[in-house]
Chain A
Amino acid sequence: MNLEIGQVVTQIIGFLIALFILKRFAWKPFLGILEERRTKIKSEFEKIEDEKESVKKLTSEYEAKLKDIEGLARQKILEAAKEGQQMANQVKENARKEALEIMGRSKEEIQRELEKAKVQLKNDLVNLSLQAAEKIIQERLDKEKDRKYISDFIQGLEKT
């Protein structure tokens, strides 16, 4: 019960020894390892966060790229459509031109045929009138007078 300085001092020394041992073998290593683990976990989390960030960035980049590609595709389609239309127009134009040409040619032909027909008709007409005239002449040729004229004509021809 009563205080004894020797015992008190010994107990103080004992506590200090315990403090030293525990500080050396328990507190420092364990606090250190806890701190180490904490920083490690923290850095891992930060890394994960960073990776998430980069993935997000990549995603948005790819999305933008996809959008670009879509736009490009649409533009290309539009261009193609335009070209196609142009081509179609050209084909139409060509066809029309050709048709016009053909029509013009056929008109000319028709004209030509017509001319030809007209000429034929004229010739036929001349022939017919000649035949008619021949007939008439033959009928009149029986007559003396006419014979005389003709023979005269022939004689005249012979003379010249």
Chain B
Amino acid sequence: MIRTLNILFLLVSTKVEEAGKKAAEQGAPELPNFITLLYERYGKTALVQFLHTWQNVVFSLIIILILGFVAYFSSRRKTLLPGRLQNFMEMAVEGLDNFFCGILGPRGRKFTPFLGTLFIYILCMNFLGLIPGMKSPSSSLNTTVALAICVFLYVQFTGIKNLGIVGYLDHLAGNPRDFITWVLVPINLPIHIIGELAKPMSLSLRLFGNITGEDILIAVFVSLGVMALSFLNLPVGLPLQVPFIFLALLTGTIQALVFTLLSTIYFLLMFPHEEEKH
């Protein structure tokens, strides 16, 4: 019994080592999705090559279509006494609205659609990778950078709109009022500009890193499970990744929430400062 276990362990460890080497050669292990499968099969055709190059966009598109259809069908027949789908949507909308308005105050209602869409979109992107044959678009830096740029531009626009151009520049210069703060402007201004630029960078890198890590983790454990049973020549492996799928559900939610929450706070920082003291 113990011997067989030993052999099994040896087998697994050598396989894992091999897999590790392979992964090191190929980059991070990634679970196959239907586009990479297509690519392996029909890599020569232009359409598949196009799909493969734009796979993250394709998966984003899938999410956009799903969200759009759900939104369309849930709001098509809306009544004051809601049905089940409408009830669910209302619950989600009201919960998010309360969340954002709780942070931003009553003027947060204006930003609820943007921030709520951001949250739901990121959440769906994070969860899409857990469906076999699909891939999280948020595990690509291109996607997260795109979202972060959207947030960055909207935040700066809100800042200029709320504070005025002079007020916005004043805010960037660290609100100089007396001699010392005026002297410190040459230091404050670049610090603030770097700070503003660091916000989208941290946002995008955080989301990208977490989701990529989570996907790699699941991929590693899937391949481990497959390898553990590979000596039986079965088409299935041990489902070792199951606990990490739950972990991924947790981190996916948390990362979506963190991204949205930080965006909300960036908006809050762009509101006039008198408002914040209340």
Q: Which A residues lie at the B interface, using CB under 8 A? A: 1-4, 7-12, 14-19, 21-31, 33-34, 36-37, 40
**Stretch of B108-116, B173-181, B239-247 on the interface side:** B108-116
- A19 touching B97 in the complex, CB below 8 Å, given contacts A7-B57, A12-B146, A14-B60: no
14 further A-B contacts with Cβ under 8 Å, apart from A14-B60, A18-B68, are: A7-B57, A7-B146, A8-B149, A10-B57, A11-B142, A14-B57, A15-B60, A15-B118, A18-B64, A18-B117, A31-B93, A31-B112, A31-B113, A34-B90
Q: Which residues of A contact B120 (CB under 8 A)?
A: 22
A37 proximity list for chain B (CB < 8 A)? 80
Give the CA-CA distance A3 to B140 in the complex, in Å: 9
Given known contacts A3-B141, A25-B71, A14 and B150 CB-to-CB distance under 8 angstroms: no
**B149 & A12 in contact (Cβ 8 Å cutoff):** yes
A interface, by DSSP: helix, strand, loop or mixed?
A: helix
Across-interface contacts of A3 in B (CB, < 8 A): 141-142, 145
Instruction: Establish whether residues A26 and B93, one from each chain, have CB atoms under 8 Å apart when the complex forms.
Output: yes
- Write out the residue numbers on chain A whose beta carbons fall within 8 Å of the beta carbon of B90: 30, 33-34
Q: Is B270 an interface residue (CB 8 A)?
A: no
**Shortest Cβ distance from B221 into chain A, in angstroms?**
22
B74 close to chain A: CB less than 8 A: yes
A interface footprint on B80-102 (CB within 8 Å = 1, 0 otherwise): 10000000011001100100000
CB A32 to nearest CB in B, in angstroms, measures: 9
Q: Which of A23, A24, A34 contacts B94 (CB 8 A)?
A: A34
